[in-house]
Amino acid sequence: MELRHLRCFVVLAEELHFTRAAERLHIEQSPLSRTIKELEDELGALLFDRDRRGTRLTQAGEVFLHDVQRLFSTLELARENVKAVSSGTLGILRIAVPRGCIDPRLSAFLARCREEVPEVEIRLIEVPLAEQLRGLRSGSFNMGFANTADVGDGIVAEPIWIDPLVVAVSTRHPLLVHKQVPLEDLIRYPLVMVDPRLFGQCNDELSRLLLTATGKAGVVEHVASMDMMLTLVAAGYGVGIANAARIGVCNRSDIVTRPFAAPNVIHTTYLLRPDSGTDAPPAIPLDRFIARLHAQTDD
């Protein structure tokens, strides 16, 4: 099995069309067909179903595609690490963060790392939660952050920042009569919340309280970022619920926040890392960076 076999397979799996795949690979269709046949013969399994309706991945093909993509990702990381080392650094530390919901404390952490460990290049990548988990398992990311500990096997989720949740409302909202918002008053209004498919369930306890109080989730809109949530809240579409540390740096004059009257309504940010730590390049001491995060939290 050669890399050319795998490249042809991935392109065909993406296109699911032999003519288009051959054009992308700058080869004729017949050599592509022979290459796929050679690969299937070596593996002893059909990777594609081909009939008059088109070309589709078989179940074996889907499994193989996942593994081959992980292989190419590892090869790309190896290439980048070699380039980094040859340019005078120890390697690259890749940190995955939730798209559209970056914690402001990351800036201080990154600045501290750049000052204390300048020989390591640090890259911050915004991705949805599902992609972050796949990358941590495959080695594409060395560490990450999430709003949930429900991350499955192979990943350690460690609480790193704990903040109160606050209610965000427009400047003329009726809830502003309360210095602390009671849950029974909050549930009278529709909610605007971040999409749990992108970020995970941000606060299980709050969700339980809302479900107990209403018998259903009163969400009028799921959004993909804090900015969109605040825009809808300011326009009067509903009430937002946000991490106090994150919303505190937004500086929106058309938004007012209030704490909850209920106790212990908190939001936890989790540090994610591969369970064994073996996916991190040997030259990069991941434990040192995690220790810096804890030191920053304790300061």
CA 288 → CA 117, 279, 283, distances in Å?
A: 10, 15, 12
Q: Quick check: 94 and 125 in contact, CB under 8 A?
A: yes
According to CATH, the superfamily of the domain at 89-159+269-298 is Periplasmic binding protein-like II (3.40.190.10)
Please give the backbone phi and psi of residue 47, each rounded to the nearest 5 degrees, phi first. Answer: -100, -25
Instruction: Using CB atoms within 10 Å of the CB of residue 205, give its burial: 0 to 12 exposed, 13 to 18 middle, 19+ buried.
Output: middle
CATH topology of domain 3-67: Arc Repressor Mutant, subunit A (1.10.10)
Q: Where are the domains of the chain?
A: 3-67, 89-159+269-298, 160-267
Domains 89-159+269-298 and 160-267 share a fold: yes
Q: CA 123 to CA 164: how far, in whole Å?
A: 29
CATH topology of domain 160-267: D-Maltodextrin-Binding Protein; domain 2 (3.40.190)
Confidence of residue 254 (pLDDT cuts 50, 70, 90): very high
Instruction: Using CB atoms within 10 Å of the CB of residue 296, give its burial: 0 to 12 exposed, 13 to 18 middle, 19+ buried.
Output: middle
At 94-146, the pLDDT tens digits run 899 887 667 888 888 888 888 888 888 888 888 888 888 888 887 788 899 98
Q: Percent of the chain scored above 70 by pLDDT?
A: 83
- 221 pLDDT above the threshold of 50: yes
- Predicted pLDDT at 279: 46
Q: CA 299 to CA 294: how far, in whole Å?
A: 9
Q: Among candidates 188, 255, 183, which has minimal Cα distance to 226?
A: 255
Q: CA 11 to CA 6: how far, in whole Å?
A: 9
Helix, strand, coil percentages in the chain from 3-state DSSP, rounded to 5: 45, 25, 30
